[in-house]
Amino acid sequence: MPQVNARFSVLSEDFAANPYRYFSRLREQDAIHYESAIDSYFVSRHRDVTRVLTDHETFTTEMLQVRAEPVMRGPVLAQMTGAEHTAKRKIVVRGFTGRALEEQIRAIHANAAELVAPFLSRGRIDLVNDFGRPLAIDVTLDVLGLDKKDRRRIADWLGGVAEFVTGIDLSPEQRRRCLDRAERLEAYLAPVIGERRRRPGDDLISKLCTAEFDGVAMSDREVTALVINVLVAAVEPADKTLALLFKHLIDHPEQLGQVRRNPALLPAAIAETLRYTPPVQLIPRQTERDVVLGGSTVPAGATVFCMIGAANRDPAAFASPDAFDIHRSDLGTARSFTAAARHLAFGSGLHQCVGAAFARAEIETVAGMLLSLFDNIRHTPGVRYRETGLYTRGPASLCIDFTPARTAPAPL
């Protein structure tokens, strides 16, 4: 097992190639790892990460003013607290639950069927680049009521926003390019927001435009920031989770067979994928005061990164944590998509993901469809598997071969 010593760095190429190899040593020997190059602390134990995410007095989201607000073009949900946070979070949640969710599932099914169709006769698909990524964007554009013919441009601008938010040591030139793409996205959204104010529809942008907080409607700046917030938050982790789910099932053929025979096991497989390989690997916070955490003192004003991948593999929280096991008894499928989740893939506390139920519905719908269409799924021979990303992490591609089981998906 690789050493965690004075020269160890989470910014090294070795760590980026496979962070999972380092997690147990970090938890055991350097649970509050200080990274001097970026003056930040990396927290790896489940108990400490839970504390950081739920002790809102000590660990704030203030650094998002610098890390997110410039590209979100206004304050995002994770920056808000108190009544404002509760009210605006509720508005966003309403866009993804109840009747709205039922309609969205039909749209997800239709989008997925259209995207997969050209690949069925070929028996080969890259689940990330041919399918998962465009699907995650289309699904989110539908929810927001944005035009899917603009998918490419929006995806490009969004890439700049995501790079800025998740960048750990970006150069000034990279930051400038990200800001430029964020400004283009803002300019694209401005007339859409104006139109929804005049003629609201059923979509989330209309709901944000017409909702009131303290009797006052949100400004264009506030609506823009929440729209970009939802776009980034919904798109970034979705394709990664879908691809990781298939990767783990292909690598564990017995469990793949069980899920095929009993699709009711899919939610457990999704929950275990989120525990085993969470697509959001880092969640940042800032200390409000000097604090003793995991036996180390962290000074006031410091940046603290919660290492979700490491916390989710902490043996103090999960038995045999490095095993992928959809039947594990210490996870709990039903609670895995709620505030009571034991894994930390959706965060924890006030800012826990608002899209968890939607993400479950999205991945369950799509994975169920793909499993009914693809028989004999296997990795494409000769293609090397590679994951990328420190902050959000997932397969660069997932090329699979399959035997087509049907010519089109069954209707919902």
Does residue 225 touch ligand HEM according to CB under 6 A? Answer: no
Residue 342 tokens read as 């034991």
Residue 147 tokens read as 């035009």
**Segment near ligand HEM (CB under 6 A), from 19-27, 149-157, 162-170, 234-242?**
234-242
Give the residue, chosen from 341, 345, 390, 399, that forms a contact with ligand HEM under the rule CB under 6 A: 345
Using CA atoms, how far apart are residues 151 and 132, in angstroms rounded to an integer? 13
Residue 273 tokens read as 């994928």
Distance of CA 332 to the CA centre of its chain: 20
Contacts with ligand HEM by CB under 6 A: the residue count is 24
User: Token pair 């927290």 is at which residue?
Assistant: 43
Does residue 115 touch ligand HEM according to CB under 6 A? Answer: no
Q: Where are the alpha helices (DSSP H) in 262-320?
A: 266-276, 308-311
Residue 193 tokens read as 């927001």
Give the residue, chosen from 128, 230, 244, 310, that forms a contact with ligand HEM under the rule CB under 6 A: 230
Nearest residue (CB) to ligand HEM, 273 versus 397: 273
Sites for ligand HEM among residues 23-82 (CB under 6 A): 77-78
What is the separation, in whole angstroms, between the first and last Cα of the chain? 47
Does residue 241 touch ligand HEM according to CB under 6 A? Answer: yes
**Segment near ligand HEM (CB under 6 A), from 30-38, 88-96, 157-165, 180-188?**
88-96
Using CA atoms, how far apart are residues 303 and 273, in angstroms rounded to an integer? 28
CA 364 vs CA 93, 169, 357, 369: distances in Å: 19, 35, 10, 8
Using CA atoms, how far apart are residues 278 and 261, in angstroms rounded to an integer? 26
Does residue 310 touch ligand HEM according to CB under 6 A? Answer: no
Contact mark string toward ligand HEM, 267..286, x via CB under 6 A: ------------xx--x---
How many beta carbons lie within 10 A of that of residue 240, not counting itself?
Answer: 26
Give the residue, chosen from 307, 353, 373, 399, that forms a contact with ligand HEM under the rule CB under 6 A: 353
Does residue 92 touch ligand HEM according to CB under 6 A? Answer: yes
Q: 388, 406, 389: which is closest to 397 by C-alpha?
A: 388
Q: What is the DSSP string of 33-75?
A: EEEGGGTEEEE--HHHHHHHHH-TTTEE-TTHHHHTHHHHTS-
**Segment near ligand HEM (CB under 6 A), from 14-22, 28-36, 245-253, 343-351?**
343-351
Give the residue, chosen from 89, 175, 184, 197, that forms a contact with ligand HEM under the rule CB under 6 A: 89
Does residue 312 touch ligand HEM according to CB under 6 A? Answer: no
Give the residue, chosen from 355, 389, 395, 409, that forms a contact with ligand HEM under the rule CB under 6 A: 355
How near is the Cβ of 80 to ligand HEM at its closest, in Å? 7
Does residue 351 touch ligand HEM according to CB under 6 A? Answer: yes
**Which residue number has the CB closest to ligand HEM?**
355
User: Token pair 């209309």 is at which residue?
Assistant: 206
Q: 185, 156, 124: which is closest to 401 by C-alpha?
A: 124
**Segment near ligand HEM (CB under 6 A), from 29-37, 296-304, 345-353, 367-375?**
345-353
Does residue 358 touch ligand HEM according to CB under 6 A? Answer: yes
Instruction: Using the CB atoms, write b or e for 333-344: b if 16+ within 10 Å.
Output: beebbeeebbbb
Does residue 371 touch ligand HEM according to CB under 6 A? Answer: no
How near is the Cβ of 135 to ligand HEM at its closest, in Å? 12
Residues making contact with ligand HEM (CB under 6 A):
77-78, 89, 92, 96, 229-230, 233-234, 237-238, 241, 279-280, 283, 345-347, 351, 353-355, 358-359
